[in-house]
Structure 1
Amino acid sequence: MNVHAAALTQVHRFDEATSAFAGDVIGNLSQHPKRLSPKYFYDAAGSELFEQITVLPEYYPTRTELGILRSRGDAIAAIIPKGAALVEFGAGATTKVRLLLERCEFGAYVPVDISGDFLNAQADALRKDFPDLAVYPVAADFTAPFALPAEISGPPKVGFFPGSTLGNFEPHEASAFLRSARQILGEGAQMIIGVDLEKNERVLYDAYNDAAGVTARFNLNVLVRINRELGGNFDISGFMHRSIYNRERHRIEMHLIAKKAQSVRILGQNFSFRPGESIHTESSYKYSLERFTALARQSGWSIRDSWTDAERMFSVHALVAEG
């Protein structure tokens, strides 16, 4: 957070999470080109919209990854130590983690997410359905170092990072996250991670530009959140959603495009937008199996096993911490 943003958030007496949100928004909108971090999509409304996205006919990643987890569940269970603690980075809806909890004999589950209310609601539901499982939710930004609960200091740790969220990081950030996760999970750790694969560009385009417009509402919701939580005055109707595939960088890019000139005030700072100017809100990198293997190895992990669907749309990997 820059000094000016820190001073403003102190004046407004924000809590720590909102102060971090304010600092990132002001810092990122001050850049050229402007951008916003995708981690701020996921307030309560954004989390709900994303769950709607996952069941859209155009959006293949969720159903494809679920298919892999179901069909390869026994193979995954065979490599997980009995009584291990499962740590999910960026926990959302529990659909995917339930598949692991049903097949593997975990002793504890630690969901980690920045959206505390949503996290606690999901944790409560899991406790009812898995009464013998110890559940310790941690409200934290999983992209930064955080402490695991003392209650799971003993058993081996298994990370879980589904949904190809890794693709939202720039490659150097993805490597930094994997190194951080290895440090958090400790010696001998394993990780189950979902990674979206390169594929036909039309399939990718449709997945991020659904006919029902849910992805557009999800993208625009970050401006709604800025208005609500930081007192911004974005004219939401003055922006539109746009997703494109950047072939050279192997990624989908999501943008919010200004439809007209607009001046926005947030915490005492003004931000001007020209017609056609973009706020880059998310990148979603698509990997080949070879490029992901190289990324994992340079980040301190080795590939124990990899699984894909029959059409090689998506992949799930079992990683083991090296050293």
Structure 2
Amino acid sequence: MPLVELHKEPDGSDNKAAFAKDVNEGLSKKAKSLSSRYFYDSRGSQLFQDIMALPEYYLTRCEFEVLTDQKEAIATHVGAEGFFHLIDLGAGDALKTKILLRELSEQQRSFDYVPVDISGHAMQQLTQRLRQELPQVQVQAVVGEYFKALEWLQENKSERKVVLFLGSNIGNFNPDESLAFLKVIRSYLGSGDKLLMGMDLRKEPKTILRAYDDASGVTAAFNLNLLRRINEELGGNFDLQQFSHYASYDPQAGAMRSYLLSRRKQEVHIEALNKKFTFGAWEAIHTENSHKYSLEQARELGQATNFSIESVFLDKNEYFADILFAVD
């Protein structure tokens, strides 16, 4: 089936304007910041693939373990009530989702697969690969933002929905944002619908810190790639050698935070903004949060957004959970 395109920017101008606007707002604040949404250009995406293969980065391995070891139970839970749309928010290459697609097919569950991603290229590639690898699965890829895709589904598809939000993406939101995000997701779901969401759990702080500050420096390169993007796309003159990656973990808040530190007092000009920004020696630019949850916090988050927990699927070390939330 052809892609459903809810997000069209053929010349990239809207993307560039949004990028410039967000950079200007973030670097103009007293406590400077850059949005983590801009990590993922082509180089950033490749660097993140490299991060996932690092020995320190436990998150991806743990979720693969959960999905591989408990795929039968997960497929039974989501597929027991008849036909459903399996909606994969931020599908990318669907590497983890394919574990469930194969299991659902083997169990002969009645469903179709609706991957959602902002990248039309990624969705075109995924559709082609699934046509070859899992021709029995009906695929309708949607290009667009999560909420626009859910709105389109609500208007065009009346059957039951199972939403996937895998990885630890919910952790990138602060507590208020995660609450708001899940409330919007819930508003598009009805009785019998479900949400399978990945959540990185609280654990020994050094284990978490190593995952975001690896010995080989791949995470540092990933963080610094934000400045390279500004240089290449907005005409910035950041000297990447004069900034360094810094990661810290607050065990009380359960918050992993990443920064870029200016190694000296310096001034940076960004041509697209026609503006200069001054950085003090060791001034920080905040780039990412990654919140870690306890299972009790997950239950409370579900209650606050009118979800109930149907089942919790854990890896053997209980580092990571895929939690199945239900709509009563």
Instruction: Write the distance in 1 (CA, Å) between the matches of 2:186 and 2:110.
Output: 19
Correspondence 1:70 to 2:74:
no
Aligned 8 A contact 2:171 2:200 in 1 = yes
1:240 to 222, 241, 244: 244
Distance 1:319 1:232, change over 3 A: same
AA at the equivalent of 2:116: V
Tell me how large the CA RMSD over aligned residues is. Answer: 2.1
Amino acid at match of 2:323: H
* Structure 1 residues 139-288: aligned runs within 5 Å: 139-142=143-146, 147-149=151-153, 153-266=157-270, 267-288=273-294
- Distance, in Å, in 1 between the alignment partners of 2:190 and 2:90 is 18
User: For residues 64-143 of structure 1, what are the structure 2 equivalents within 5 Å?
Assistant: 64-81=62-79, 82-104=82-104, 105=109, 107-142=111-146
Greater shift, 93-102 or 151-160, is seen at 151-160
User: How many percent identity over aligned positions?
Assistant: 39
Name the structure 1 match of 2:15: 17
| Alpha carbons 2:142, 2:149 under 8 Å: kept | no
Q: What SS class does the counterpart of residue 56 from structure 1 fall into?
A: coil
Structure 1 residues 150 and 196: CA distance shift in structure 2, 3 A: closer
Instruction: Give the superposition deviation at 1:207.
Output: 0.8
Q: Deviations over 1:50-95 (max 9, x none)?
A: 1111111111010111101111111111122343211112222321
Equivalent AA in structure 2 for residue 288 of structure 1: S
The TM-score normalised by the length of structure 2 is: 0.88
Aligned length: 310
SS in 1 for 2:74: helix
Whether the aligned pair in 2 keeps the contact of 1:255 and 1:282 (CA below 8 Å) is: yes
The Cα of 1:184 is off from its aligned counterpart by 3.4
Give the CA deviation at 1:290. Answer: 0.2
Structure 1 SS opposite 2:146: coil
1:270 Cα offset (Å): 1.9
* AA in 2 matched with 1:193: M
* 1:32-43 equivalence runs, <5 A: 32-43=30-41
Distance 1:150 1:313, change over 3 A: closer
Deviation string 1:102-153 (CA, Å, 9 cap, x unpaired) is 1123632222223333343233222321223232333333377763358961
Measure, in 2, the Cα distance between the counterparts of 1:175 and 1:145.
19
* Further displaced range: 121-130 or 48-57: 121-130
CA contact (8 A) 1:123 1:135 kept: yes
Gaps of at least 5 residues in structure 2 are 1-10
2:302 to 287, 293, 296: 296
Structure 1 pair 155–299 and aligned structure 2 pair: CA distance change class (3 A): same
Structure 1 runs not aligned, ≥5 long: 1-12
Please say if 1:314 is aligned against 2:320: yes
Q: Distance in 2 between matches of 1:151 and 1:103?
A: 29
User: Which residue number in structure 1 is paired with residue 3 of structure 2?
Assistant: none
2:116–2:149 CA contact under 8 A, matched in 1: no
Contact 2:68 2:99 in 1 (8 A): yes
Contact map agreement 1:293 1:303 (CA 8 A) in 2: yes
Q: What residue number does 1:61 align with?
A: 59
SS in 2 for 1:147: helix
Greater displacement, 13-22 / 25-34: 13-22
How far the C-alpha of 1:220 sits from its partner, in A, is 0.9
Say which is worse superposed, 182-191 or 239-248, in terms of deviation: 182-191
Distance in 1, Cα, partners of 2:25 & 2:46 = 27
Secondary structure of the residue aligned to 1:93 is: coil
What is the match of residue 7 of structure 2? none
